[in-house]
Amino acid sequence: MSVDNIKMAQLILPDVKITAQEILEKYPPRQLKEGAMVTRFAPSPTGFLHIGGLFTAMVNKRAAMQSDGVFYIRIEDTDKKREIEDGVKIVIDGLNAFGIDADEGFCPDGQKGDYGPYQQSQRRDIYRAFVKQLMEKGMAYPCFLTEQELSEIRAEQEKLKVNTGIYGKWAKYRDITVDEAQKLINEGKSFVVRLRSPGDPQKRISFKDAIKGKIEMPENDQDVVILKADGIPTYHFAHAIDDHLMGTTHVIRGDEWISSAPIHLQLFYVLGFKPPVYAHVSPIMKEENGGKRKLSKRKDPEAAVGYYYEQGYPKESVMEYLMTIANSNYEDWRKANQKEDNKNFPFNLKKLSLSGALFDLVKLNDVSKNAISIMPAQKVFELSLEWAKQYDKQLAELFERDRQYATEILNIDRENKKPRKDIAKWSDVRDYVEYMYDEIWDKSEMVLPENISNEDGIKIIDAYLQKYNPEHTKDEWFNTMKEICEPLGFASEVKVYKKNPDAYKGHVGDISTVIRIALTGRKNTPDLYYIMKLLGQDKVKERLNSFKEKLS
C-alpha cells in the first residue's frame, strides 16, 4: 500500500470509518454440512416478476433444499431508476404466492438471518469500505470523465472499430495523482470509482458453469465502474461483496449475466474472495410460427407471474409445471410417484435446458387439471372461493351462501380412481358449476342432439317424468332410463342398437342425453344422478317441464 494510494482513498471516501477487515469479521463462514449449497434469488424491486424469475427462484430454492443448505432472498435496489413504490412487496408476495419462501433474507414477515441486511440500499457503508480498501491497494481509482467525454470516446472507438469502454489508453484517469483529484473535487467535478483492471484480453479465463459446462472467454480488461457518482455501487460490485459475505456457494441466475462473468470473476479475484460456482439459467421460450423466441414481458401476458394468480392457477400446478420444464425426467418420476411430495424428486441442475425451456400453456393446463383432479373437494372449494372473492364476486357469493352445496357439486366424480379433469384454473370453476345455480345458468343454447326430434324430446321427458322418483338408488335411476326406451322406439342397450340401428330411433344414451340437456343444458356433465340429487326434486321437475315447453 503506497502512501499516495492511502491518501487517495481518504480523499475519495473520507466518511468511511469501518475497514473491510472489520466487516469480514462480522460475516463468519457458515457452519453447514459438506456439500450444502447456499443459493439466493436477488430480484430488483421493479414490481414485475417474470415467470422466468419465478423459475430461477424455484431452481435456487430446490438446489438449497436438496443439499440441506440455505436459500435466501436479497433485494437488489442499486438502480433507483428501475424501482417502483411497493416494488419489493409485489415481488416478494409474487414469490410467496407460489411457495417460494426463503429460509433467510426477505421472508413474508420481513428480513431475517445473520448475514443481512439483505437489501442493497441498506449496505452502502459495506460496499464503500471495500471500495476504499481497493483504492488503498491501488486497484481502483476515481474517474472524472463527463457524459460528453464518454460519448466522444465511444464514437471514436466505433470509428476505429475497437472495443468500446474504458480500458487501456482510453482510461484517462488511471494514473491521476492525489493533487489532481483534489483539484477536480474542489472545482465541484463529479466522479465515479473504477476498477483498475488487471486483465489482459489476449488471455482467456475459463470456468465451469454448473448448467452450461465449461465456458471460456477473454479476460476482462475494462475499468468497470464499481461506485457510481451517487456513491452507490454497481450491480457487479455489489454482487461480489454480497455473495461473498453472505456465503453464497452457487450463484444461479439468468444467462443474460454470462457476458459479465469475466468482470465478476475478476472482482472476486482482486477482492481476494473465492468465487462462487455459477449456474446460468437459459430464458424461458415460447413457440411461435414454428420457431422459438424468449417469452416477452411486452408481448406475452403469460410472462408475468400475476397472470397465473389472476387466472387462478393453483400454486401447486404452476410449480409442478415448472418442474417438468426444469428436468425432463420429472414427468416420468411423477407418473411413478403420483402422491409423493415433489421435494423427494432428485433434482439436477445439469438437466436444465441449454437452449431455453419451452413454455406451453396447453401443457400447463394439462398438468394443472391433473393436479386439481386429485385434490379433495374441500380443498377445491376453499381455493376456488379464495380466488373468486377477488376475481369473481358473484361466484364467491353463491359459494358462500351454501358452502356444503358447493362442496358437494365439486365432489361429484372426485376422489375416485378416474377423477374428472375439467378444471385447470379457478376461473374455469364458474363454467363448471354454472347450471347448478339458476342465477348464473345460461340456457340460451339448449338444443337437442340432431338425431332427436322435438316431438321425441317431449315424449322422452313426459315418459321420464312419469317414472322419476328422487328416492331411487343409482341402479334404479338408470333402470328408469332403460324402461322408457322400448315404448318410445329406442334400444335399452347400446349393443342391441348397434347390431340393428335401423330398427331404432336411438338408444338409452340418447334418452339420458335429452334428460341431461333439459337439466343442465349440456351433453356432457359429471354424473347426472348426483347432479339430480343435488338439484332436488322440485328443481328437476321444474327444469324438465320448462324444457318440454321450450320444445313444444
Rank residues 50 and 334 by Cβ distance to ligand GLU and give the closer one: 50
Pick the closer one to ligand GLU by CB: 251 or 460: 251
Alpha helices in 412-487 (DSSP H): 429-433, 454-467, 474-483
Cell of 346: 432428485
10 closest CA partner among 192, 178, 230, 241: 178
Cell output for 524:
356432457
Binding site for ligand GLU (CB under 6 A): 42-44, 76, 239, 251, 253-254, 257
Closest CB to ligand GLU among 284 and 364?
Answer: 284
Distance of CA 64 to the CA centre of its chain: 18
48 versus 170: smaller Cβ distance to ligand GLU: 48
CB of 70 to ligand GLU, least distance (A): 16
CB-wise, 82 or 379, nearer to ligand GLU? 82
Q: Which residue is nearest to ligand GLU (CB)?
A: 253
Pick 57 or 227: Cβ nearer ligand GLU: 57
Residues 534, 410: Cα–Cα separation, whole Å:
11
Smallest gap from residue 73 Cβ to ligand GLU (A) = 11
Minimum distance from CB of 321 to ligand GLU (Å)? 23
Cα–Cα distance, 274 to 286 (Å, whole number): 37
Residue 4 makes CB contacts below 8 A (sequence gap 6+) with 177, 178
Which is nearer to ligand GLU, 72 or 381 (by Cβ)?
72
- Closest CB to ligand GLU among residues 222, 234: 234
Task: Give start and end residues of each alpha helix (H) in 27-66.
Answer: 51-66
Contacts of 345 (CB under 8 A, 6+ apart): 323, 327, 330, 333, 334, 337
Q: What is the SS3 string spanning 295-336?
A: CCCCCCHHHEHHHHHHHCCCHHHHHHHHHHHHCCCHHHHHHH
End-to-end, the C-alpha distance of the chain in Å comes to: 101
We find the least distance from the C-beta atom of residue 267 to ligand GLU, in angstroms, to be 13
Least CB distance to ligand GLU at residue 517 (A): 54
Min CB(257)–ligand GLU separation in Å: 6
- Say how many CA atoms lie within 13 Å of 222 toward its Cβ: 18
Report, in Å, the least distance between residue 189 CB and ligand GLU: 30
Please report how many Cα atoms fall inside a 13 Å half-sphere around the Cα of residue 442, on the Cβ side.
Answer: 7
| Residue 288 C-beta: closest distance to ligand GLU, Å | 24
